[in-house]
Structure 1
């Protein structure tokens, strides 16, 4: 078995020719190959469910059978386990797969394996010395095909043959300075399955945190932060296409979780990392927040108002203006994602996360207990005073509970499920109610931007009434949460 450390970059077709003229590649003649690959799975897609890829590859006159795991990628970087051995055309064998459980899993399903998609592409390969490393730079151009459908391949893969992972990022920085290269996270296998299943694009939700008790706090932060980055990147295409409001919501949640993770783990992170990357995402997060506010007004707040005041000219005016503002906010997001600094930020953040080292002798379980307890104490202090809180303090309480929920979700793999489930359910209900209260406060402000009505106007009165009802319901949800036993105790 080998561990494949690979950085994938999207490449525009017109940039592929200019890549060969880059000074870093001067004098390095490429090896040219045509690679024809067939990927296999069972009719029930058992391998896909386990995030495993099995392929037969024709490389010149040689045939290879490859098995790959498919750990999630972030910032374009993927670390995958790989087993590869010579093969006979049309025959799949797993003798070279050393991992016993995986070998048995594959052998049990081998009789039912069938082709699901193919990739056919030309590859130009250069071995580039950089820093203390040898890096294989491959330019792939061709197609993925399945069931009469196909999609283009045009990408760069940088694979670390020997040396340091930092050098992959260093080489990419220098290439990005001259070429439009965007970190990509979808492997050819993942794209092939999407084509086979004819899956329409859909918003992507956060995966559970991939941490365990054997990790150090910094290792856990690395897994959580890169998971948040993956969450954002997998919604990026929907943002750029001006897609459904849920893309904006999920992208916003991803950045909120990322910024919360940086603050949560700040005691074990370098101060300059926290200062830099705690602020770096603010502009993009602000643009997403603006778009989300108009979306909520349009899709959640206005429909019941329109039902309460049928035929009201103000509601029609509000809907029209809110739609215009939401469209403008989406355009602002696309502009931010189109600037050259954005793909460089993805790369730099990923590089900085991988460069983090451990300096404090802390166990992850002890660190998690201390941080969760501190977050819960702050939330309890505000909850105890809920009846006397001002709107600003109630907003602060909402933020406090949101950070607590993210922290509990991050550390969930370390916590007993029996107590975790009811605790998260109570916390989620409370956060939802506080979120709706905040949505009404935000709606009042947005409506005031559009309409010049006095605060006592009917629409404002309707929102104020709903707001008051939610505040009346809040004590019950607070009591339910306060009654839960903290799962980290």
Structure 2
């Protein structure tokens, strides 16, 4: 892992934007982090820090990807405005402007840089007010690694928004000068000393989540926004990093408590990431591609038993027998034990960092297909996957259970692909067809899913209570509604093809 990061660091050009790699850390592991050789060899600087983040009542700055804060730390008061250039899971790339202040309060006019002034001029300054506060102890080290200079910062404290607060324990690696690959290489080295989990939220995002009471709760996938001028490499990065973020938000919730929705969404996120790898295969294949695919296949499989047992307990398929239900619940607890052990395993944590590194710095991004326009690739890949669905879709009435299951998998992959690429077809004439197509695929997937759930339930009971599996009735696929859903998809298909 470290050798890959070092190789990437040697190939990559230096950057001037603020580039951070962020991780969540268990507070109990802070001392182990400090003992990591790379940090133990450097002189730490310890400071108390407090910050106030400002926004308008309708959160205009947040919606624009901008943060504005005033921080008091180490005898200095610094006002900072940041604008996202790209972040999703772990790696945060942002433009940043700073201004020294004499008092601990907001002064938007203090920025000397005209770009910062123009940025803030877009917002109603009179409406800016404190929304989030942070207070923490910051321990910082400057580390030389792979020919780069990196500041490593451990923040321990709290984030507050309104009357709510949440503990803060995170480590950031900020590139002072050098190559991004060095951040990953150093993170891999530090991660040997203590578990590191890819960070998905800035301090301000944690505060906004507190305000919305969504922090630590299951999260659904957020829309992926692509531009028609994006290269295939750009589009794949945006899509894959969004999937990683979706996964990490739910992993956080799952580590906090055994929530079936969080487990389901974490599993969905991994499936979506695997689908993104398939969708963008012509652009992304190359060194590392098959290894990443294989590891993701292993990782996603670790969630299967727990999810299947959740479905069995939540539905109406399980026979009405208290003793049997108790046995299934006990088995579910065992399955969750295994999932949580996997989440905390070195193999899983290394996989997440490895994926983020490969997405950001892998050599695949320099291939000819990766540099081509994503809209060209989108048309080819959507058409190919639609043709796969059409091989079985018209024969719904005669498909056996295995064939129905395979069709459901193909439908799910096509649905994810269509969702990833939907923003490319935002023109009025195409957007409606795109939405109807995705909706029809979702309906078809659900129609095919009921029978599959019953087959899985039978297999579980055959293992847990041999002889009782026959009590589960396998429902027939609702052929009429399923065929109608396929017909609706067929009526909207083809919107991705060039006109003429």
Q: Normalized against structure 2, the TM-score is what?
A: 0.87
What's 1:311 paired with?
Answer: none
1:446 to 1:6, Cα distance in 2 relative to 1, 3 A: same
What's 1:366 paired with?
Answer: 376
RMSD of aligned residue pairs (Cα, Å):
2.6
1:479 aligns with 2:487: yes
- 1:473 and 1:146 map into 2 onto residues whose CA distance is 48
Superposed CA deviations along residues 326-365 of structure 1, whole A, max 9, x for unmatched, are: 2221111001012122222211111111122221153211
1:97 to 1:482, Cα distance in 2 relative to 1, 3 A: same
What's 2:5 paired with?
Answer: none
SS in 2 for 1:138: strand
What's 1:115 paired with?
Answer: 130
Contact 1:423 1:486 in 2 (8 A): no
- Gaps spanning 5+ residues in structure 2: where? 1-14
SS in 2 for 1:212: coil
What's 2:358 paired with?
Answer: 352
Question: What is the CA-CA distance between 1:414 and the residue it aligns to?
Answer: 0.9
Q: Which moved more, 1:325-334 or 1:177-186?
A: 177-186
Q: 1:377 aligns with which of 369, 387, 397?
A: 387
- 1:232 and 1:103 map into 2 onto residues whose CA distance is 33
Q: How many residues align?
A: 472
1:127 to 1:192, Cα distance in 2 relative to 1, 3 A: same
1:435 aligns with 2:449: yes
Question: What is the CA-CA distance between 1:253 and the residue it aligns to?
Answer: 0.6
- 2:106 and 2:255 map into 1 onto residues whose CA distance is 42
1:389 aligns with 2:399: yes
Question: What is the CA-CA distance between 1:46 and the residue it aligns to?
Answer: 3.3
Q: Which moved more, 1:419-428 or 1:195-204?
A: 195-204
What's 1:40 paired with?
Answer: 54
What's 1:233 paired with?
Answer: 248
What's 1:137 paired with?
Answer: 152
Contact 1:260 1:406 in 2 (8 A): yes
1:105 aligns with 2:122: yes
Contact 1:183 1:347 in 2 (8 A): yes
Superposed CA deviations along residues 264-298 of structure 1, whole A, max 9, x for unmatched, are: 22222234422101110233312212211111111
- 1:18 and 1:205 map into 2 onto residues whose CA distance is 34
1:136-285 correspondence runs (5 A):
136-199=151-214, 201-285=216-300
Question: What is the CA-CA distance between 1:36 and the residue it aligns to?
Answer: 1.9
Contact 1:430 1:474 in 2 (8 A): yes
- 2:307 and 2:141 map into 1 onto residues whose CA distance is 45
Contact 1:8 1:157 in 2 (8 A): yes
What's 2:420 paired with?
Answer: 410
1:98 to 1:263, Cα distance in 2 relative to 1, 3 A: same
- 1:184 and 1:395 map into 2 onto residues whose CA distance is 36
- 1:390 and 1:19 map into 2 onto residues whose CA distance is 55
Contact 1:128 1:135 in 2 (8 A): yes
Q: 2:43 aligns with which of 29, 33, 38?
A: 29
- 1:20 and 1:200 map into 2 onto residues whose CA distance is 28
Superposed CA deviations along residues 406-438 of structure 1, whole A, max 9, x for unmatched, are: 111111111231221111111111111112221
Q: Which moved more, 1:277-286 or 1:190-199?
A: 190-199
Contact 2:161 2:210 in 1 (8 A): yes
Q: 1:321 aligns with which of 327, 349, 362?
A: 327
Q: Which moved more, 1:86-95 or 1:355-364?
A: 86-95
Superposed CA deviations along residues 352-385 of structure 1, whole A, max 9, x for unmatched, are: 1112222115321111111111101111111123
Superposed CA deviations along residues 297-337 of structure 1, whole A, max 9, x for unmatched, are: 111233xx77xxxxxxx543443232222222111100101
Contact 1:239 1:333 in 2 (8 A): no
Contact 2:258 2:336 in 1 (8 A): no
SS in 1 for 2:18: strand
1:194 to 1:373, Cα distance in 2 relative to 1, 3 A: closer
- 2:464 and 2:153 map into 1 onto residues whose CA distance is 53
1:53 aligns with 2:73: no
Question: What is the CA-CA distance between 1:156 and the residue it aligns to?
Answer: 1.8
